[in-house]
Amino acid sequence: MPAKLPASFLSAPAFAADPYAGYAALREKGPVHPIDFPPGAEAFVVVDHEHARSALNDPRLSKDPAHSAVPVQGEMFFGGTLLGIDPPDHTRLRGLVAKAFTARRVEALRPRVMEIADGLLDRIAERGEADLIASYAFPLPITVICELLGVPAADRDDFRAWTAVLIAYDPSPDMRERRRATARAFNDYLRGVFAERRENPSDDLISGLLAARDDDALLSDGELLNIISLLLIAGHETTVNLIGNGVLALLRAPGQLRLLRDRPELLPAAVEEMLRYDAPVGRATQRIALEKLEMGGVVIPKGAWVHILLGAAHRDPRAFDDPDALDITRSDNRHLAFGHGIHFCLGAPLARMEGEIAIGALLSRFPGLRLACAPGDLDWNRTPSIVRGLTGLPVLL
């Protein structure tokens, strides 16, 4: 078996800035490696595309942390949400959410997304320079998801603060207590919204979820809390990083940026390539082995954790030609940014639409857009969270 990787492999500053050289070195040694994360449990990382795609839809790998061989604390492992349950519960809940989170509801948002993007860019244009994360990539998707759900956009800073706590990894007792307090505040807020919406339903996603039925069964309050929490987190944090990572990738590849300006019809393909090239979710949410199994020549014991490193799979040369190059004309782009199988992201159409509108509007408005610092001076989140994104992206317009 390969040597066990330290947990710091996922959080070292050099890794946070550029994990792809480390991924390549691991792939050369094999597709699956043991890792000391989460501490105290047997765990493994998957780093090639073939085994990553298979593992994402392997029924022998549970999403429920209750199947861990040892109790694990210190990270939000999405237990109880759609990302932390298995069939048949997952099948029932996903079906109910899908009834409310329809393609019609998402597509109806397109004019509003464009309006939000234009308004943010108007404010940015007055200054001549901006932090694109704080001024654009964050407020756009959080405003959209708040309006979709039917909660005040004025509360978006609270959502950002709650999300940062809930998805960060920190096993310390102080952080565990902070996470519990954050979850209580988040849930208390949402219960208030549920009560108001039961009295005054409207054409928003929360009202739709409150009304969604499976025969005579409604979603319970606990299920609603888990689903809305997940939608708020997944509905904005990942899109923030799609926009930020994608714009940075273009600014660092001037030939591709010129091509996209000359051929705006390539924008949908460009967004797919951005999702592959520097995915906003670098590590898939947890899987736990329900039985002893073999993967990539490595034996994984029952109850062990399996972490699928999507960023590593996306740079696998056996799956993608010249994988370390950004190529917005890439065809047959079989990236895994939205997962694969029964846990494929329900919000993928919304994320794609937001990415296309946000990046397209930005490039159209500011043809001279460029970085305001050296790429090496940019700061990336450094905790072994599932998300990969910049803390800021200073640009000159």
We report the CATH number of the domain holding residue 116 as: 1.10.630.10
Question: 396 vs 126, 262, 352, 354, 375, CA distance in Å?
Answer: 12, 21, 26, 22, 14
- pLDDT tens readout for residues 364-383: 999 999 999 999 999 998 76
Sheet of 287-289: strands edge to edge? 32-34, 43-46, 305-308, 287-289, 61-62
* pLDDT > 90? residue 252: yes
User: What Cα–Cα distance (Å) separates residue 12 from each residue in 9, 22, 72, 110?
Assistant: 6, 11, 22, 39
**Structure-token match 């509360």, residue found:** 155
381 Rama class: left (phi>0) / alpha (psi -120 to 50) / beta: beta
pLDDT value of residue 193: 87
The answer to whether residue 1 is domain-embedded is: no
Write out the residue range of the structural domain in which residue 205 sits: 7-396
Mean pLDDT for 262-279 is: 97
Contact 328, 363 (CB under 8 A): no
For 253-272, letters b (16+ CB in 10 Å) and e give beebbebbeeeeebbebbbb
* 316 within some domain: yes
230 belongs to a structural domain: yes
Q: ∠ at Cα 363 (356, 121), nearest 5°?
A: 90
CA 165/CA 162 separation, integer angstroms: 5
**Residue 264 binned pLDDT confidence (cut-offs 50, 70, 90):** very high
Residue 261 has pLDDT above 90, yes or no: yes
Type of residue at 328? I
Residue with tokens 């030939």, as numbered in its chain: 255
pTM of the model: 0.91
More confident residue, 76 or 22: 22
Q: Where is mean pLDDT largest: 57-71, 96-110, 173-187?
A: 57-71
Residue 167: pLDDT band (50, 70, 90) is low
pLDDT value of position 105:
82
Q: What is the mean pLDDT of the chain?
A: 89
Report if residue 27 sits inside a domain: yes
Determine the average pLDDT of the residues in 335-340.
Answer: 96
Rounded CA-CA distance 87/89 in Å is 5
Mean pLDDT value of segment 191-201: 89
Residue partners of 288: CB distance under 8 A and separation at least 6: 61, 62, 63, 64, 65, 67, 68, 303, 304, 305, 306
Q: What is the pLDDT of residue 75?
A: 47
For residue 32, is it within any domain? Answer: yes
In the numeric block, the tokens 């509003």 are attached to 112
Which tens digits make up the pLDDT trace of 124-148? 998 889 999 999 999 999 888 888 8
Q: What is the C-alpha to C-alpha distance for residues 46 and 26, in angstroms, rounded to an integer?
A: 10
234-263 average pLDDT score: 94
Q: How many domains does the chain have?
A: 1
- What band does 220 get if pLDDT is binned at 50, 70 and 90? confident
Domain-embedded: residue 198: yes
Whether pLDDT at 218 is above 80: no
> Using one digit for the tens of pLDDT, what is the confidence trace for 283-320?
998 899 999 999 999 999 999 999 999 999 999 999 99
Amino acid at 327: D
With respect to residue 196, please indicate whether it lies within any of the assigned structural domains. yes
Separation of alpha carbons 231 and 297, rounded Å: 36
Question: Residue 289: beta bridge partners?
Answer: 61
Share of the chain above pLDDT 90, in %: 55
CA distance 144 to 239: 11
pLDDT (0 to 100) of residue 221: 81
353 belongs to a structural domain: yes
Q: How far apart are CA 339 and CA 52, in angstroms?
A: 10
9 vs 39: CA distance, rounded Å:
13
22-47, pLDDT tens digit by residue? 999 999 999 999 999 887 889 999 99
Quick one: pLDDT band at residue 86, thresholds 50, 70, 90?
A: very high
Q: Are 45 and 30 in contact (CB under 8 A)?
A: no
